[in-house]
Amino acid sequence: FSGNGSQWGGMARELLASSPAFKAAVDRCHAALAPHGVDLLAEFGADDGWSTPALATAGLVAVQ
């Protein structure tokens, strides 16, 4: 797994739109994180997302 710093705003946006398998995996991660106040899908959709280490880590794990 890569460390924090390899992410960027809008990362995985195109893959979410084009790959049903990837979208399904991210949806499962989103459902697991939502009760903890993490809106993973909003982070993937935001140009300035991935703003905190916790969000970056969660997003990178979901992508990888």
Sign of torsion, CA 55 56 58 59? positive
d(CA 8, CA 35): 24
Q: What is the pLDDT of residues 4-63, one digit of tens each?
A: 666 656 778 888 899 999 999 999 999 999 998 888 888 877 777 676 777 778 888 887
pTM reported for the whole predicted model? 0.76
Q: What is the pLDDT of residues 5-20, one digit of tens each?
A: 666 567 788 888 999 9
pLDDT reported for residue 27: 94
CB-CB neighbours of 59 under 10 Å: 23
d(CA 26, CA 43): 12
pLDDT reported for residue 1: 60
Q: Which tokens sit at 50?
A: 């991935």
